[in-house]
Amino acid sequence: MSDASIDPESVARTAFVLGARHRALDQPWRTQRRAQFVHVAQGVLSVHTEGGLWVAPPHHAVWMLPDVLHRMSSEAPVVLRILHVDAGAPSVPTRCCVVAVDRLVNELLGAASAFDPHAPADDEESRLMAVLADRLPRLAHVPPLSLIYPRDPRARLIADTLAADPGRPGVLDDFADAAAITARTAARLFAKETGLTFGQWRQQLRLLTALSRLGAGTSVTQVALAVGYSDVSSFIAVFRDALGETPARFFR
């Protein structure tokens, strides 16, 4: 299942799939010349860039664009299938995103990961990869699994403070004071640069942090309290509103 010994940069093909299995993952920052479609077969994967965070639970995937500085992490065992594809391919989106992976794409990725990326592609593999390339743009985006960080250094300071401790108490006025700006300016910057209000941004950060910890096997109650909810029912309601299911059903 694991192709950890293969360096993607050494492969000459325009598109290929490598499998990877990790007990846990804390990848160093890196860039790659190809786009990556990182499918999570098991576990929960977090992908960090300088400008955002993307979290993929099972049966989802992260599109990572070429030449973007990023790192991947997981608090628990994770099984990945990674499609490496040349930057100019029509299937590559214009921005990083998380998509829901359907059964067909799941099976195609599994089959493609069995091919030797250094060997010439035969007709069977060429047909399979063509079908995969055709299916990828049809997968549904899942916006709640993405979080864009503000670029302004003052708003970014607030974002980084919360990212370090998503359960930290306080209101926007408190964080704005620490960043030497007014709450009104902070609110404007978050809305302008992330597309979310400060409250929405904070809630989404908590949701993504919760997903990672739930995927590591932490209980719903422990996770809810850790990310700042005093009422577990409120956390479950927020989770269900964002992802359509309760945490228990989502990870079943």
Domain extent listing, the chain: 8-144, 150-250
Do strands 35-42 and 78-85 pair parallel, antiparallel, or not at all (unpaired)?
antiparallel
Q: Which CATH class is domain 8-144?
A: mainly beta
Regarding the domain delimited by 150-250, which CATH topology (the fold level of the hierarchy) does it fall under? Arc Repressor Mutant, subunit A (1.10.10)
Distance CA 230, CA 152 (A): 31
Report pLDDT digits (tens) over 59-112. Answer: 999 999 999 999 999 999 999 999 999 988 999 999 999 999 999 999 999 999
pLDDT at position 6 is: 79
- By the 10 Å C-beta count (0-12 exposed, 13-18 middle, 19+ buried), 229 is classed as buried
Predicted TM-score (pTM) of this structure: 0.92
Sign for the pseudo-dihedral over CA of 61, 63, 67, 71: negative
The stretches in the chain having pLDDT less than 70 are: 1-5
Residue type, 183: A
